[in-house]
A and B are shown apart, each in its own frame.
Chain A
């Protein structure tokens, strides 16, 4: 099993979700995070005082999938999240040792 983690622009979340549904994904976890990469931040001005705001709002998506689905999921996220401009985010995949469905106690791939 794999954990796919993606950091995307918040306004692209709906498109990413639709793309994931298109490859058969039925569940995901989403959280609001802040961060920056090469995009850096932006400038805010309050009564003439300029502040460099480095941490920008981003959306973090986490999905656990079976090994053979991982590539499709990554492709779907990239397709849904890409704008072509700087700050589109990143996707990474890490191995998962165990998953348990709390309601039934099912384990492994059965729990997905």
Chain B
């Protein structure tokens, strides 16, 4: 056990946790004002829902002792046997609990990423059902394949440092399935869906960028040189992605946009995620720049192909994640990490690229088909989509009985509490309303 490594991984887990509220703001600013809370909720609630499911069963399915190279056993249900001592197979220098906590934060943000695709029209109950099923039946197995000892993609020798396949391609292709199954928002392609608060989105992107240091550098699972290398790769790619998207905007529209810079930074971060521990700083510039340019183009495809991926999860996470996963096969260099491999430019030939392509293809097929089936299942039972009237009203009021922004003091009084026996028609004097006054006694 190494105290430096333990401290670093625990802090990194905290950084990754902070990405999910960051994502909430990133997405929340991009929707219309009437849907801001519904959108924020789909990220924030994942922190609650997934954290519980992860302790109960998710971690065991992903990282329990291998069963047939496909799934983890049930040994770690309820974190049984996940203790303060290291697990030599998973992370030999930190407590097993620290590793499980770090992995938990990845499991939280991944389904939250998908929510951008079905933003502004998903039922909260449908989101809860889908997220629960998806975590256990899609995320956990894929995390096992790629990261757990015995997982078939890991044994194949394909590389994924921090989640290009497990997190980004996985959520991105599930997002495509979700956009197809739930259908377009009313007015898609004809009506203007203008982001209601871009400063919120920019702040969210900044929090994501900050948290991503934990995501990528933390994936070294040690406070060492590899972590520092991944840290620089992460920042460099985020920066290059922002520059790349701004360049694309400037060349195609003559004006660089703040949403473009925020999106480009995220695209660069997505693309470097699988590669951060396997490439050097110059490759990070290339990967980030490529992500900024390619993703800026890719987000326009939804209008041509006709799927309503509301907040561009496909264009940024699927395309960016795939780009990064494949570019490891080009830029990978074992000089930066002996556990990595040499790509095309480091003289490794096409072998690594081939393995990366197999891992990418397996992720795409498994996650798309599995997510599609789960979405259809939820659609047929709980239901996925709000009614047309609720969609027009907005998710905040229709799904959560709240308003994101109260611009006036409003009118009306306290509604009678049905639960307290007050008849709805004639409001009787109910229990006194306790308004917090800041007094402690």
A interface residues, Cβ below 8 angstroms from B: 44-53
Tally inter-chain residue pairs, CB-CB below 8 A. Answer: 33
Is B392 at the interface (CB under 8 A from chain A)? no
Q: Which residues of A contact B303 (CB under 8 A)?
A: 49
Q: Which residues of A contact B192 (CB under 8 A)?
A: 44, 51-53
Q: Which residues of A contact B195 (CB under 8 A)?
A: 46
Q: Which residues of A contact B252 (CB under 8 A)?
A: 48
Q: Which residues of B contact A48 (CB under 8 A)?
A: 249, 252-253, 296, 299-300
Contact A45 B257 (CB under 8 A): yes
Closest chain A CB from B316 CB (angstroms)? 9
Q: How far is the CA of A53 from the CA of B191 in the complex (A)?
A: 11
Contact A44 B260 (CB under 8 A): no
Contact A46 B300 (CB under 8 A): no
Q: Of residues A45, A47, A50, A53, which shows the largest number of chain B Cβ atoms within 10 Å of its Cβ?
A: A47
Q: List 15 A-B contacts (CB under 8 A).
A: A44-B192, A45-B257, A46-B194, A46-B257, A47-B257, A47-B259, A47-B260, A47-B263, A47-B296, A47-B299, A48-B252, A48-B296, A48-B300, A51-B194, A52-B192
Q: How far is the CA of A51 from the CA of B259 in the complex (A)?
A: 15
Is B391 at the interface (CB under 8 A from chain A)? no
Is B312 at the interface (CB under 8 A from chain A)? yes
Q: How far is the CA of A51 from the CA of B257 in the complex (A)?
A: 14
Closest chain B CB from A54 CB (angstroms)? 9
Is B255 at the interface (CB under 8 A from chain A)? yes
Which chain A residue shows the least CB distance to B311? A47
Q: Which residues of B contact A46 (CB under 8 A)?
A: 194-195, 257, 259
Q: How far is the CA of A52 from the CA of B191 in the complex (A)?
A: 10
Closest chain A CB from B313 CB (angstroms)? 12
Q: Which residues of B contact A47 (CB under 8 A)?
A: 257, 259-260, 263, 296, 299-300, 312, 315
Q: Which residues of A contact B257 (CB under 8 A)?
A: 45-47
Q: How far is the CA of A42 from the CA of B291 in the complex (A)?
A: 30
- Per-residue 0/1 for B181-217: is the Cβ within 8 Å of any A Cβ (1 yes, 0 no)? 0000000000010110000000000000000000000
Contact A45 B299 (CB under 8 A): no
Q: Of residues A45, A46, A50, A53, which shows the largest number of chain B Cβ atoms within 10 Å of its Cβ?
A: A46
- Per-residue 0/1 for B373-392: is the Cβ within 8 Å of any A Cβ (1 yes, 0 no)? 00000000000000000000
Which chain A residue shows the least CB distance to B297? A48
- Per-residue 0/1 for B292-304: is the Cβ within 8 Å of any A Cβ (1 yes, 0 no)? 0000100110010
Contact B194 A45 (CB under 8 A): no
Closest chain A CB from B151 CB (angstroms)? 35
Closest chain B CB from A41 CB (angstroms)? 10
Q: How far is the CA of A49 from the CA of B301 in the complex (A)?
A: 11
Closest chain A CB from B22 CB (angstroms)? 19
Given contacts A44-B194, A47-B315, A48-B252, could you give 19 more A-B pairs where the C-beta distance is less than 8 Å? A45-B249, A45-B253, A45-B255, A45-B257, A46-B257, A46-B259, A47-B259, A47-B260, A47-B263, A47-B296, A47-B300, A48-B253, A48-B299, A48-B300, A49-B303, A51-B194, A52-B192, A53-B192, A53-B194
Considering the complex, which residues of chain B in the window 215-269 have a beta carbon less than 8 Å from any beta carbon of chain A?
249, 252-253, 255, 257, 259-260, 263
Which chain B residue shows the least CB distance to A44? B194
Q: Which residues of B contact A53 (CB under 8 A)?
A: 192, 194
